[in-house]
Amino acid sequence: MVQAEPILQISGLKTVFRIAQRDVTAVHDLDLEVAAGETVAPVGESGSGKSVTGLSIMGLLPRGIRRVAAGSIRLRRKDGSTVELQQMDGPDLRGVSGNDMGIVFQEPLTSLNPVYTVGEQIAEPIRIHLGKSRRQARSEAVHRLEDVGIPDPQRRAGQYPHEMSGGMRQRATIAMALACDPALLIADETDHGARCHHPGPDSGPAGPPAAGAWHGHAVRHP
């Protein structure tokens, strides 16, 4: 039986910071594979490079400050094709990010746009990557909020980030990362600030714990 190619293959990854006119290595010679249906959870103390690894995969390192100095990052997309992320930039990389791979950041308040409703922010990648209409994308956004256990998702989709609790915002960012059913989900301490919902007299039934609530930095193919 032929073994399927991993969803993610990282070989010899080296990421550096440019600080005071010198290079400081944040990730050195990392090898990592994630198979379909597998959860891989690198662990380490603060500053050991877990979050930087996730940003390196997504191509979200700030230009001029951080860069991938060496290594290969290969992703098997939803259509079965394999791409070398280090060779992609601009529109090509944007076509993969949010569609074939998603990320959940530690702090939801800084990863959500304060001037758009939560529903709009979840619906945007659905419209861009999946070609859905605004009405269809909005409906999908509501379903995603329901999937991550947010009560009254129809109403919550119309709220702005500051109108939600920290735990609700974290669930919303998880819903946004899962909006397009990515092949790869990168979750950077997704249980940070998340709480199980306990129903009160005016609330609906409790939802499941937030999806992807692993400690440390986890990479998962859902």
Q: How far is 74 from 214, CA to CA, in rounded Å?
A: 24
Report if pTM > 0.85.
no
pLDDT > 70? residue 38 = yes
- Residue 133 Rama label (left phi>0; alpha psi -120 to 50; beta): beta
* Residue 212: per-residue pLDDT: 31
* Residue 209: per-residue pLDDT: 32
CATH 3.40.50.300 matches 8-220: yes
CA 190 to chain centre: 9
pLDDT > 90? residue 101 = yes
Kindly report, residue by residue over 66-95, the tens digit of the pLDDT: 778 899 999 999 999 999 999 988 889 999
Domain ranges of the chain: 8-220
Nearest to 92 by CA among 137, 59, 127, 65: 59
Q: How far is 28 from 3, CA to CA, in rounded Å?
A: 28
Q: How far is 84 from 88, CA to CA, in rounded Å?
A: 7
Task: Return the bridge partners of 13, or none.
Answer: 30
Asked if 122 contacts 172 with a C-beta cutoff of 8 angstroms, the reply is: yes
Q: How confident is the model at residue 192 (pLDDT cuts 50, 70, 90)?
A: low
Task: Return the bridge partners of 27, or none.
Answer: 15
* Residue 3: per-residue pLDDT: 67
CA within 13 Å, CB half, 32: 24
